[in-house]
Structure 1
Amino acid sequence: MSLAAEVLDAARARGITIATAESCTGGLIIGALTEVPGSSDVVDRGFVTYSNAAKQQMLAVRAQTLQAHGAVSEETAAEMASGALSASDATLTVSVTGIAGPGGSEHKPEGRVCFGLANAFGVTTETVEFGAIGRSNVRAATVEHALRLLLIALRR
């Protein structure tokens, strides 16, 4: 069984619906979930908010947060996850924002991805350094990690 199918089964068992808020993955997480037949009873929607303007318009990420911390930050990931929860019918959301590469800087290196999870009980965040493993590998690793975070949250 795929990781996405495990997430869907766990959500289905608990009556939870899911939405995603994605930047660096460009919709790959929601794509992985909706690849599974029957996912429509669990998946509500996906927000692809690649630009800062989209993050602000669709997810209510505050301009002050983006100015103070940047798009690739746990603060932005938290607001993305919260915004997805508010702007959807989902009861659990995951957000990702990062630097897939190539590029990055000394302060924010290639392969850094910030994750957020939100539900009625609050928001949690974490940052993972995947390293300079190439754009498609960072994106694939981000999808897998996001699905694992969802699965952990659903099994609590």
Structure 2
Amino acid sequence: MDIARQAVSFLTSRGLKLATAESCTAGFIASLISSVPGSGACLDVGFVTYSPSGKAGFLGVKKETMELHGLTSEAVAREMSEGALRQEACCADVAVSNTGVADSAPGGGPPPGTQCFAWSFRAPTGEFMTFSETKRFEGERNDVRRAAALYALSRIEHYFERRWSREKGGKSDE
């Protein structure tokens, strides 16, 4: 089964709604989900916030976080995914975010293909549990973007299970 179908199957089988907060992937994660028949049952909203002002204005990413950690950072990815879930009209239980560089960053910065992700889960109490990772992908610009989008979807179930383990007092090995 392909990754997008597997993600839709997982989300719908648990009655979960997904929000995406995308920078480098520029909507590719939401596009992959929406390509699956029946995805309307699990896709709530997608944000494409490519610029720092978009990340701050639409998702509430703090300017200080971007300055201190850089745009390609797990800290920014975490604030993006939690920011998506905080939006008044967002009905999602799960958010996935991505920020990174697909090719050479101007003026130095992280190596090409560096991608930062976060997966946030809304608890019934309204609190969030967020996991994050940094991964590097090889290839041309659009190869990196596609690989990052697929990776983001492939880890939803993994972190959902980790969330349950953590809530029940299990140990986390993030």
Q: TM-score band, normalised by the shorter chain?
A: over 0.9
Tell me, in whole angstroms, the C-alpha distance in 2 between the residues paired with 1:104 and 1:127: 20
Identity score, percent: 38
Letter aligned with residue 27 of structure 2 = G
- For 2:154, the aligned partner's letter is R
Letter of the 1:18 counterpart: L
8 Å Cα contact 2:102/2:145 also seen in 1: yes
SS of equivalent to 2:133: strand
Q: What pairs up with 1:1-156 in 2 under 5 angstroms?
A: 1-87=1-87, 88-103=90-105, 107-120=109-122, 121-131=128-138, 133-154=139-160
Would you say how many aligned residue pairs link Structure 1 and Structure 2?
155
Q: Which consecutive residues of structure 1, in runs of 5 or more, have no partner in the other structure?
A: none
- Matched-pair contact (CA < 8 Å) for 1:4–1:147: yes
Conserved? CA contact 1:7–1:154, under 8 Å: no
Amino acid in structure 2 at the alignment position of 1:116: A
Q: How far off is 1:25 after superposition?
A: 0.6
Q: The residue matched to 1:31 in structure 2 has which SS?
A: helix
Task: Say if 1:10 and 1:154, in contact at 8 Å, map to a contact too.
Answer: no
In 2, Cα distance between the equivalents of 1:60 and 1:79? 7
Cα distance in 2 for partners of 1:100, 1:151 equals 25
Aligned mates of 2:93, 2:62 — CA distance in 1: 22
Report the Cα offset of residue 104 of structure 1.
5.7
SS of residue paired to 2:50: coil
Separation in structure 2 between the aligned mates of residue 135 and residue 53 of structure 1, nearest angstrom: 23
CA RMSD of aligned residues (A): 1.5
For residue 24 of structure 1, give the secondary structure of its aligned residue in structure 2.
coil
| Higher Rg | 2
Please tell me whether the aligned partners of residues 121 and 160 of structure 2 are also in contact (alpha carbons under 8 angstroms). Answer: no
What TM-score results when the alignment is normalised by the length of structure 2? 0.84
Offset, 1:153: 3.0
Q: 1:154 Cα shift?
A: 4.2
Instruction: Check whether the contact 1:6–1:151 (CA below 8 A) recurs between aligned residues.
Output: no
CA–CA distance in structure 2, aligned partners of residues 147 and 56 of structure 1 = 24
